[in-house]
Each structure stands twice: as structure tokens, then as C-alpha cells.
Amino acid sequence: MLYNKSIDKFFSEESMLDFSTMIYRIPALLFAITIHEYAHAQCADSMGDPTARYMGRMTFNPMAHLDPLGAILLVVAGFGWAKPVEINPSNFRNRREGILKVSFAGPAANLFVCFLAAFFMTFLNRFGLLSDGVYRFLLWMQLYNVWFAFFNLIPVPPLDGSKILSELLPPSMAWKFDNLVGRYGFYILIALVFTGITGAIIRPLAAGYMLLVNGILGLVF
């Protein structure tokens, strides 16, 4: 099991402010942001809404998805954002299905990339090809992607989880949720992050997912 560092240690304040790791963290961060937003855009387009394609978001160029301030905060504080992919639900062939699938697409893509990074790490190690630099890069790929996935599933606007919850609620409750919670979503998120509540929610989910990944890879290797 190559994932032998705890989520807590690598996403501790000391680790996030360790600038000696930037050479590994920045490429991993850019990839995690890009695949997340690209997945939203690709899914929306496949569901009948070309808005993201017209706005140039169906690309693996990170500059199309990057918000500079949000990216800097992600590196140094573990909390930030990318440019949201705009959609027009009225273009979906099935509005509810479209919103749910597009909202799930970003986190699902991150979890898949996390699995791939763990696979390559295990594969390279199995054949004695895993250098320290590649190990560190692939480790941060796993960490950022698993973190993004579960963070974005938190049901607080404007995160993906809030859109999923809104679609699953009865219409009257969804309206109240969107108007009450949505109005203060950003401030709620800041409070959750800086009180450590998001970490308390995400760490066990991320650790559980990594245990599952390593269990699967253990059967293969």
C-alpha cells in the first residue's frame, strides 16, 4: 500500500505552507482543477447544452479554467475556487437529469484521476521504476483530486453538492434552500473551512476512498 501518509498530515497547515513541495503541488493542482471543470463542460455538452463549448471551456488548457486568486488560496490555504462552468439547463433534453449528471461529473472525474494516480504509483513501484519525484507528484495528484471531489459534494452553494441536493428536494423545499442558504453560501463555506468542519467531514471520506482504492489495487498487484 503506497498511500502510507495520512490525509491529515498532508493537508495540515504545515504541509500546505511547505513551499518546497510547490514543484509537485502546482502541476497536480492545475490538473485537478482542469479535469474537474472539463468534466462539467463535457457532460453538459453531451446532455444537449453547448454553452460551455461556446465559452471555450471544453479544453484541457488550465488557463481556461483558472481563477488566479482561487488557485493561490488553494495552494497556501487548502480553500479556493476555479472559474465555474456556466450551463443553461433549459437546453438539456431532461433538465433534472442534466443538472444531476453535470453536477456529479466534476467530482467523479476527480475520483477517477485519483484512482489512476494510485494505479500508476503502484504499477511503477511494482517494477522498481518509481522515483522520489514521481512518487511525490502522484501522491499530490491523489490528494488534490480526492479532496476536490468530496469538498465539491458538500451541499452548500455554490458547490456541486448544493445543486445535487436542490434537485433531489421537493420543489418547495428546493426553492427555500436556494433562496435562504444560497444567499449566504459563500460565507457559510468560509465559516466551515476556517472552523475546521470541512476537514472533519472530508478527511474520513477521503481516507475511506483511499482505503477502497488500495484494496482494489492490492487485488491486482
Evaluate whether 92 touches 49 at the Cβ level (below 8 Å).
Answer: yes
Task: Report residue 143: phi and psi, to 5°.
Answer: -65, -50
One-letter amino acid of 93: R
In the set 13, 14, 37, 167, the catalytic residue is 37
Task: Name the 3-class secondary structure at 212.
Answer: helix
CB atoms within 10 A of CB 144: 27
Q: Is 37 part of the annotated catalytic residue set?
A: yes
Whole-number Cα distances in Å, 204 to 6, 42, 153: 10, 30, 14
Give the dihedral sign, CA 221/35/149/192.
positive
Residues labelled as active-site residues:
37
